[in-house]
Structure 1
Amino acid sequence: MPNFDFPVDGYSIRRGSTVDKALLVKFIQRTYQELFSNQDFSHLARTVEQYFSTDTPLWWVYETQGTGNSEEITQSPVTSPQSPIPTACLWAGNAIDQVTGDRHAHIFLLYVVPSHRRRGIAKALMQHIENWAKQRGDRQIGLQVFTSNTPALNLYQNLGYQTQSLWMIKFIR
């Protein structure tokens, strides 16, 4: 797997592959567990199963200094027990702008392990996806963020993201 330049000291980035499916499931489940504790998120494996492919790229961030992180999620199926555990991931795909009909990049998941937050990793990953999208000829990037996820909202707003639509729900009994 090729490594790409990553602008955060002490970290590197590499492109994931479809063999990383189990590790991606763990990362996406952890994201939801942090936001909505005491729920079972095993169903998220179906989301990964349905949408993860060679057309939906995945990038992993690894710590290059030190011996790894203290908050291990799981061992990747393609790494040995001596291999480092990723400290962050970015999973992207495609969406269609419902107004213009144009294809654009869509961020499915951006997750940084808590002990590695506030170091510029998420911001660097957002710059990475922006560069990737520009190379593809995309004119916009979309994402969905929970209104309760204030740190993510602040990051995205500081990077120039704007609310385009609101996803509304009503619970019925």
Structure 2
Amino acid sequence: MVSESNWPQGYQLVPGSSLDRARLLTTMGNAYRELGATQLGHLAKTVEMYLADSSALWWLEKAGAPRVGFTASVVPPMGCLWLGQSINQLTGALQAYVYLVYVAPTHRRQGLGGKLMDHAKAWASDQGYDQLSLQVFAHNQAALTLYKSLGYTPTASLLTLEL
């Protein structure tokens, strides 16, 4: 069963909801800016299309952070995990999919990304999936190293031709 406990001291993982659209959009913008993206307008459409009741969202926050209403913390999130469903195009099987895993730069190198991915794996297993997939940019060496250390294997390459 997925647990939001057992995080390093000072951190907690709290469930998000569809009410967190603006917060998710801001976090995605931060993540993609760090990867070199200059055009971010499409992210709102991505959130609109994929943040659904069937997806799952968690925020990595400061433990004990004051809340605004029922969901958001007053303090910006230290990380985010957003999961959903996709179809394995080779087998046709439904699989869990990582839409976003993010740890803010000042909180990296503490094992938090690995713990978020462990949480993703537990959620996927609890949901009955046999596979968990994600996409990573080829130049994101830190993420590639993390995923390989967790047992992920490359199964496809996305090729692009500029026109």
**Do both proteins adopt the same fold according to a TM-score greater than 0.5, normalized to the shorter chain?**
yes
State the match for 2:51 in structure 1: 52
| SS at structure 2 position matched to 1:4 | coil
Deviates more, 1:122-131 or 1:92-101: 92-101
State the match for 1:94 in structure 2: 85
Measured at CA, do residues 163 and 27 of structure 1 come closer, stay the same or move farther in structure 2, by a change above 3 Å? same
What CA distance in whole angstroms lies between the structure 2 residues aligned with 1:22 and 1:8? 27
CA contact (8 A) 2:7 2:13 kept: no
Runs of 4+ residues over 4 Å off in structure 1: 75-78
What CA distance in whole angstroms lies between the structure 2 residues aligned with 1:41 and 1:35? 12
Paired residue total: 160
| SS at structure 2 position matched to 1:62 | strand
State the match for 1:71 in structure 2: none
Which consecutive residues of structure 1, in runs of 5 or more, have no partner in the other structure?
Answer: 69-74
State the match for 1:72 in structure 2: none
Identity of aligned residues (%): 36
State the match for 2:8 in structure 1: 8
Measured at CA, do residues 171 and 87 of structure 1 come closer, stay the same or move farther in structure 2, by a change above 3 Å? same
CA contact (8 A) 1:60 1:90 kept: yes
Measured at CA, do residues 61 and 94 of structure 1 come closer, stay the same or move farther in structure 2, by a change above 3 Å? same
What CA distance in whole angstroms lies between the structure 2 residues aligned with 1:152 and 1:22? 25
Measured at CA, do residues 59 and 78 of structure 1 come closer, stay the same or move farther in structure 2, by a change above 3 Å? closer
CA contact (8 A) 1:19 1:77 kept: no
CA contact (8 A) 2:80 2:100 kept: yes
Find 2:132's aligned residue among 128, 138, 141. 141
